[in-house]
A and B are shown apart, each in its own frame.
Chain A
Amino acid sequence: MRYTNNNDTNLLQMRNILFIILCFVWVTTSAQEDLEKLIAVEGPKNEKVTATFKSGNLINLKTTETIHRHEMDFRVDHRFGDIAGSAGGAKNFFGLDNSTDIRIGFDYGLLDNLNIAIARAKGATEVRQLYEGNIKYRFIEQTVDNRIPVSIAFFGSTTVSAMGAAEDKQSAASFTGFSDRLSYVTQLIIARKFSSNLSLTVVPSYLHRNYTAYNDQNDLFALGIGGRAKISNRIALVADYIFPFRKSSNKKYREEVSGQRYYNALGVGLEMDTGGHIFHLNFTNATAIQESQFISETNSSWGKGQFRWGFSIARRFNFSKK
């Protein structure tokens, strides 16, 4: 812009005044915005996603959750008898007269992401009086910034049966030595919290039983899936399902010759968090609670009314110094 004409002088002065006012406005507004910009807050660095699940268990499957260092989790699981079908109904009060399996377990946090546990379970197959030791190590944790999109935990479990050996040589409990009493479960638990209300998990599993019923297989792969959806702040819907990949020849023999049918375990339930206690109320066709049994030997079917009430109560205790 060039102003060479004297007639423009007045206009020019006005422009200058306007410009000065604009400068003042700019000074004041930028000072206010400035305060906001000065306090870019940080969260903790590499912040980890917490509470993907609320408990170490869904219904039948384990979750990626571990308890913290110096915490103990005391947990009781119970499965009642069939609600409906030939073994259920009013005569045994819809299964409440029976219990197919009961498990009492203690978990302890060695580290925030490393837990060990011992448990006693009744056992729901031919193999009973079970003692279990297990370890869960969550070695990858999902981060808030999504640089790590999933949490992954390793779960390893060894179960030993203390029952007297069965006389029937076809039975899975006709042990001939101590090693026959052992079975092992190895799982990789992969989970992602998609939102504060929804978490899903996939659980590739490998089960090895040292001794099985006649013509069943010792090694069995399986794939579990599960999820948790929050209904309210403290109540969530949980569900899980597991597909075992049994060889068709074994399955056919067991079904046709031994009359043993196999089904995939499906569980649905409600999870209630009271702050310290976690309650589960669920329905599942699996009779057993231990991984070593419900993965391989769920012989009850939802379709035949052979599902049952189940519940679990977990209470966390803190033993940290402070």
Chain B
Amino acid sequence: MNKINIYSIFFFMIFGGIAAFAQKTSSLVSKETSITFYSNAPLEDIEAKSTLAASAMNIKTGDIIFRVKNTSFQFDKKLMQEHFNENYMESDKYPSAEFKGKIEGVEKLVHDGNYTLNVKGNLQVHGVTKIYTTAVIFNVKSGIIKANTSFQIRLADHRITIPSIVGKKIAEVVKISVDALYKQ
């Protein structure tokens, strides 16, 4: 085998190694992601929570992604949960909600501390994608990043219609709160 061919293999190994290393260090996964939504209407307050959401972020590029299955939201009243999936979210057609965005100023997250950074991206709910920007509070401590945020969604923006007969039981704007804990 000649020298140059060996160089090629050498290059390949180095870059392969860097590639693997780069992925390991810059991508963080949150297995403990929870998403809660609140609807405060004159006749009824509704709250539902999913602890089966998933999220991942890249602290180099600032890419961040969330996904949650609609059927994983738990309601106190099971009939509401059925209505949520059957009548409003149409979970058979649109099984999950998804957010893909970018953290602005992600480079700050390499040092320990608390940071409030804007996250901007596309949120898909009920098959309708819309751009959202929200301030997220990040808490960084020895490589573990805690993130939480809350924002509001207007149901009509995502083609979720409320019949007038139940209008006073479901709010037009619901509050979403998200908690995530990212580790390597």
Contact = CB atoms under 8 A, between A and B. Distances in A.
Bind each other: yes
A40 B54 contact: yes
A20 interface: yes
B6 to A, nearest CB: 12
Contacts of A67: 79
Nearest to B161: A233
B128 interface: no
A167 interface: no
B2 A275 contact: no
Chain A residues touching B, range: 35 or more
B168 to A, nearest CB: 12
Given A1-B5, A196-B93, A276-B166, A43 B54 contact: no
B65 A36 contact: yes
Secondary structure of the A side of the interface?
A: loop
Interface stretch (B11-19, B113-121, B141-149): B11-19
Point out which of A3, A31, A316 has the most chain B C-beta atoms below 10 A from its C-beta. A31
Contact of A320 (B57, B76, B81): B76
A238 B19 CA distance: 59
Nearest to B24: A34
Interface stretch (B66-74, B103-111, B132-140): B66-74
Interface string A13-24: 000100110011
Given A16-B7, A27-B18, A196-B90, A39 B65 contact: yes
Contact of B71 (A35, A38, A43, A316): A43
A19 B90 CA distance: 48
A289 to B, nearest CB: 24
B25 to A, nearest CB: 11
Interface stretch (A44-52, A146-154, A156-164, A172-180): A44-52
Nearest to A12: B4
Contact of B23 (A12, A20, A34, A71): A34
Contacts of B78: 68, 71, 112
A30 interface: yes
Contacts of B163: 234, 274-275
A112 B81 CA distance: 13
B87 A3 contact: no
B65 A35 contact: yes
Contacts of A20: 11, 15
Contacts of A320: 76-77
Contacts of A30: 19, 23
Interface in A33-87: 34-36, 38-44, 47, 50-51, 67-68, 71
A10 interface: no
Contact of A32 (B53, B63, B67): B63
B35 to A, nearest CB: 11
A2 B12 CA distance: 18
Given A16-B8, A43-B71, 14 more contacts: A3-B4, A16-B7, A23-B15, A27-B15, A27-B19, A27-B22, A31-B26, A39-B56, A39-B67, A41-B68, A44-B71, A50-B82, A195-B92, A276-B166
Interface of B: 2, 4-5, 7-8, 11-12, 15-16, 18-19, 22-23, 26-27, 29, 52-58, 60-61, 63, 65-69, 71-72, 76-79, 81-83, 85-87, 90, 92-93, 95-96, 163, 165-166, 169
Shortest beta-carbon contacts, A-B, top 10 = A23-B15, A196-B92, A39-B54, A38-B56, A68-B78, A27-B19, A43-B69, A41-B54, A41-B67, A275-B166
Interface of A: 1-4, 12, 16, 19-20, 23-24, 26-27, 30-32, 34-36, 38-44, 47, 50-51, 67-68, 71, 112, 144, 195-196, 233-234, 273-276, 316, 318, 320, 322
